[in-house]
Structure 1
Amino acid sequence: MTVPPPPPPGWYPDPSPAPSYRWWSGVAWTEHTWPPPPAPANAQAAAAQTGAAVAQGDVRPRRRKWLGRFGGWLIVAASAAVWLWLFGLSLLVTALAPHAGDGAPAVLSPYLLVTGSGTAAAAIFYTMAYKLRPEDGVTVPRLAAVALIGGTLATLIVLPVEGLIDVLAGGTARHPSLAVLASAGAVEELVKLGCVLLLCSRLPVKNARVGLFVGGAVGLGFSFIENLSYLQQSYVLGHDNGSGIGLFLTTTAGRELTGPFLHPVFSALLGAAVFGAARNGRFRITLGVVGAYLGVAAAHGLFNSLQWAGSERAFGPASGFLLLLADLMFVIASGVTWLLVVRHIRRRDARALAT
């Protein structure tokens, strides 16, 4: 007698204790249900204030937690206030004692370094955490641990590997080789994906939506740590040629524009492909997964190659303008791709619940 295989992971009707859906991991039932169990009477009375919005067609009541839905923008505003305070204080000290710093070594404020490398990453992470749902099976502390541990572990692996490639290709700290920049996409995306799988292999829910969150979290952690090294290097090198804080500011603007948007998007898209291909709670290597990896690795490598070409003035006097244009095109293209993937996941989940 042949025993039929268990159903694939997904939401299935769970009639007890109340009509709802329960997540089947492909092996066993989990504790995650949707909608959540009904709240006690006192909580229901407190939630009655949001009933009007629900009656008007809003399926889910408006969530009020942490800094609100625009908390990411508040983080950016707080960082801007820190910069204004530090530079305003510096100008005041210079006006009162213009020669107070003569002979002292140039030291970069840690506030400028941390906010310059992490503001956009923190704002994006806040927005991701705010949009987590109970049925995702990922808590905010778990997502933060994935970002911090995954980003740290990935950079500790990537740095020596890329350093060895650069040395073998004849690159230097001031002039990295084209080989290390072109291969960075393949190396970094593979290492980040490995960290995602290592840290998230025991998550109860494995689908494309969860893959977007955990992949993006590792990308944000990696971007933050990588940006720290870029900003430190630019400040030190800037003092050699007299540009100092100017080179630091331009590097900060470029890294805040590209790093937190490209690294998380690449990792999120790859995470969505891998988690979406999982069956019965196990990860699989499919043609879709391989294609996603090759796509993000190629896009990442192309972006770095264009950065190298711009720094080497390969496009002549217009290299700076063309490099900025290429950065904007990559940011827009990655954002559009992410939106299309998110829309596809939402439609597929809606069809699954409807059936």
Structure 2
Amino acid sequence: MWRFYERRHLSRLTLPTIYLAFLYGGLLGIVAASILEPFFIRQLDLGAILKIGLIEEFAKILGVLVIARHKRHDSEMDGLILGAAAGMGFAALESNGYAFTAFLASNGSVSVTVAVTLLRGLLSPLGHGTWTAILASVLFRESRNGRFRIDLQVIGVYLLVSILHAMWDGLPRVIMNVFSLGLGVFITDSIIGIIGVKVLWLRWREAIRLQSVLPPETEDI
């Protein structure tokens, strides 16, 4: 995120706005997901895992919408940066929850808790941050006259990141008979993460191509 801000000639975003996206993405995303998931999910199966992906990708984008509701949002680069911040805010709170659960399940084992925290810290940027950045970048790109549009491009990307999310959660359960659960998580999430990063890279390249260089006196948002 600091790297993006250092290249702020590509974006009107200010650092406080990015921090707010991190905060709202985490808080609103976690609250919305915690309300919606029990309503739509009765038992944990492959169908439920797909629903989790759909719900959480919707929940995370809420933070971006709150930040941008009264702002200009016609820049794909702005969407990419805000989406990455919101996704990482969600990932940070979710990781704390997983770490606390691991702490209780292991009867207070600090080593298990640290291992879970470290693994999620390494993989989360390849997951939540990447997926929300991809979705928000396309949502901003498809805006017209300062208004968000939910067109086929946005719906298609939403389904793509939701499927990647579901695969991230579900594939380790499928292959755990071949590998240990920890190794299965690392292998599958790394592969899915690479796919997500490749898509994000394409969005980044497109955002640079579409974005005109802003003069220093341009008003920040």
Give the TM-score band, short-chain normalised.
Answer: 0.7 to 0.9
Larger radius of gyration: 1
> Larger RCO: Structure 1 or Structure 2 (Cα < 8 Å, ≥ 6 residues apart)?
2
Whether 1:130 and 2:3 are equivalent positions in the alignment is: no
CA distance in 2 between partners of 1:271 and 1:316 (Å):
36
> Could you say which residue in structure 1 is the equivalent of 2:28?
153
Whether 1:234 and 2:102 are equivalent positions in the alignment is: yes
CA distance in 1 between partners of 2:179 and 2:140 (Å):
45
* Structure 2 CA distance for partners of 1:178 and 1:251, relative to 1, 3 Å: farther
> Could you say which residue in structure 2 is the equivalent of 1:142?
17
* Structure 2 CA distance for partners of 1:349 and 1:146, relative to 1, 3 Å: closer
CA distance in 2 between partners of 1:246 and 1:165 (Å):
35
Whether 1:258 and 2:126 are equivalent positions in the alignment is: no
RMSD of aligned alpha carbons: 2.3
Equivalent residue for 1:316, pick from 166, 172, 178: 178
Whether 1:267 and 2:143 are equivalent positions in the alignment is: no
Deviations 1:93-119 (A, max 9, x none): xxxxxxxxxxxxxxxxxxxxxxxxxxx
> Could you say which residue in structure 2 is the equivalent of 1:70?
none
Equivalent residue for 2:200, pick from 330, 333, 338: 338
Deviations 1:64-91 (A, max 9, x none): xxxxxxxxxxxxxxxxxxxxxxxxxxxx
The structural deviation recorded for 1:252 is 1.6
Alignment of 1:172-211 (within 5 A): 177-211=45-79
Deviations 1:193-237 (A, max 9, x none): 233112212223422111101111110111111111011111111
CA distance in 2 between partners of 1:182 and 1:306 (Å):
11
SS state at 2:8 partner: coil
Q: Which runs of 4 or more aligned residues in structure 1 lie more than 4 Å from their structure 2 counterparts after TM superposition?
A: 317-320
> Could you say which residue in structure 2 is the equivalent of 1:325?
187
One-letter amino acid matched to 1:283: F
* Structure 2 CA distance for partners of 1:141 and 1:320, relative to 1, 3 Å: closer
> Could you say which residue in structure 1 is the equivalent of 2:219?
none
For normalisation by structure 1, the TM-score amounts to 0.55
The structural deviation recorded for 1:178 is 4.4
> Could you say which residue in structure 2 is the equivalent of 1:215?
83
CA distance in 1 between partners of 2:209 and 2:134 (Å):
17
* Structure 2 CA distance for partners of 1:287 and 1:239, relative to 1, 3 Å: same
Deviates more, 1:192-201 or 1:223-232: 192-201
CA distance in 2 between partners of 1:246 and 1:179 (Å):
33
SS state at 1:202 partner: coil
The structural deviation recorded for 1:335 is 1.6
State whether residues 102 and 113 of structure 2, in contact with CA within 8 Å, keep that contact through their aligned partners in structure 1. yes
The structural deviation recorded for 1:317 is 4.8
State whether residues 273 and 288 of structure 1, in contact with CA within 8 Å, keep that contact through their aligned partners in structure 2. yes
Whether 1:276 and 2:141 are equivalent positions in the alignment is: yes
Deviations 1:251-275 (A, max 9, x none): 1222012223310110010001110
Whether 1:291 and 2:166 are equivalent positions in the alignment is: no
> Could you say which residue in structure 2 is the equivalent of 1:48?
none
State whether residues 129 and 143 of structure 1, in contact with CA within 8 Å, keep that contact through their aligned partners in structure 2. no
Which has more strand, going by share of residues?
Answer: 1
The structural deviation recorded for 1:318 is 5.5
CA distance in 1 between partners of 2:155 and 2:66 (Å):
18
The structural deviation recorded for 1:179 is 4.4
One-letter amino acid matched to 1:154: G
State whether residues 25 and 90 of structure 2, in contact with CA within 8 Å, keep that contact through their aligned partners in structure 1. yes
* Structure 2 CA distance for partners of 1:322 and 1:277, relative to 1, 3 Å: same
Which has more helix, going by share of residues?
Answer: 2
CA distance in 2 between partners of 1:136 and 1:349 (Å):
8
SS state at 1:285 partner: coil
User: What count of residue pairs does the alignment treat as equivalent?
Assistant: 213
